[in-house]
Structure 1
Amino acid sequence: MTIQEVIQIGGAILVSLGGASAVLFGFSSWLGKVWADRLMEKEKAKYSTDLERFKSDLSQTADSHKVKLKKSEFIFQKEFEAASALVALNRDIVPTYSHPDMDWYDACDEMALDFGRTEVKLHAYLKEHGAILPAGVKHLVTICFGIAGQEKFNATRGSVHASANAGADLLYGHLKQAELEIIEKINGQIVV
């Protein structure tokens, strides 16, 4: 074996190994691309599914909050109407200043003389707004309804019994307290 033959054999080996390595490199590159594409598709499908689930959950949460907000707005509107009606009722019950020497005792006499109409007004108020009233306010208005119903018999056009006058003062105090409580509740719901 001559040097030339050794070089030819060595060259042939290198060429064949180089060709094989080129083929092997091309094949591994193609195979790597196929695997990468498959892995990418799996990840893409997984993230797409996760994204759709997240969108669905977010949509359901948003819809739930919209419903809660609508209910809250409805309840707030009813509470506001009840508060406004109670303020108006309270103003209707308290007599206006009718003579120069009128004092609180005289005002209570006038309220007592009107207990029959007050009872009807309180009954109508409870009938319309009783379902939405806070428990404390409803309790106070119910007490006032009872006072008016009971004491109306102790106040006639000719005279007002002391218990009817005291009842008028108590009724006014309870209605004022109920008004303050319901307005405080309404104001507590206003967020700026």
Structure 2
Amino acid sequence: MNLDDALNLFTAGLVSIGGGGLVVFALSSWLGKVWAGRILREETHQLSVQLETTKRDLDVFKEKAIRFQNDKIITYREITEIVAKLLAIMDREIGNSPVWQPIDGPLNEFNEQRLKLYGYLAMVAPQAVMDAHDDLIDHLLLTAIGEADYKWSEVREKVLFLLNVIREDIGIAKGPIVYKGKL
């Protein structure tokens, strides 16, 4: 065997090994892609199931939290109504209110309702709403006991101010509501 024969034999061996290696490499690459696709689909499915389970759990938690919050508000409202009724009775019977002497009739009803309203507002309203409410109610109380004159334009202005502060608090204020009538 001469050098050319040995070189040809060596080259033929390399070519045959390289060709087989190329076939093996191509098949292993294809098989790897198939396995990767299956694994990815399985992982995606598992993540989708986990995500759906988590979403359901969050929805249940949210519903429980909302129900709990609503139950608290209902309870607090009941407490407020009881306390308001008691304070109205005390104002009517004892007359220790800083605003008026013992009261009865429509003024007593107004007094009880304002006490309830104050409690309800205090549970949810920001200070700006409370301030506007206080301004209106104080004006109405002073008017009721004769220490302020009743002027519809002043009452309307205070009511509109309260409503505009409420609109701002709940996020629907696109500018203030203004009275454009003639009275």
TM-score by length of 1: 0.49
1:57 aligned partner? 57
Shift of 1:89: 0.8
Larger Rg over CA atoms: 1
Matches within 5 A, 1:21-40: 21-40=21-40
Give the whole-Å Cα distance in 2 for the aligned partners of 1:62 and 1:80: 27
2:66 aligned partner? 66
- Indicate the RMSD between aligned Cα atoms, in angstroms: 2.5
Name the structure where helix makes up a greater proportion of residues: 1
| Alignment deviations for residues 100-149 of structure 1 (CA, whole Å, 9 cap, x no partner) | xxxxxxxxxxxxxxxxxxxxxxxxxxxxxxxxxxxxxxxxxxxxxxxxxx
Shift of 1:95: 5.0
Counterpart residue identity of residue 91, structure 2: R
Give the whole-Å Cα distance in 2 for the aligned partners of 1:53 and 1:36: 25
Shift of 1:60: 0.5
Give the whole-Å Cα distance in 2 for the aligned partners of 1:92 and 1:190: 26
Counterpart residue identity of residue 83, structure 1: V
Give the whole-Å Cα distance in 2 for the aligned partners of 1:50 and 1:90: 59
1:85 aligned partner? 85
Give the whole-Å Cα distance in 2 for the aligned partners of 1:88 and 1:60: 42
Structure 2 residue runs without a partner (length 5+): 97-118, 127-183
Instruction: Classify 1:83/1:95 alpha carbon distance in 2 versus 1 (closer, same or farther; 3 Å).
Output: closer
Give the whole-Å Cα distance in 2 for the aligned partners of 1:77 and 1:95: 25
Query: Where has structure 1 moved over 2 Å in runs of 4 or more?
Result: 189-192
Counterpart residue identity of residue 30, structure 1: W
| Alignment deviations for residues 34-91 of structure 1 (CA, whole Å, 9 cap, x no partner) | 1111111111111111111000000000011111111111111111111111110111
Corresponding pairs, count: 103
Aligned sequence identity (%): 30
Give the whole-Å Cα distance in 2 for the aligned partners of 1:23 and 1:77: 80
Structure 1 residue runs without a partner (length 5+): 97-185
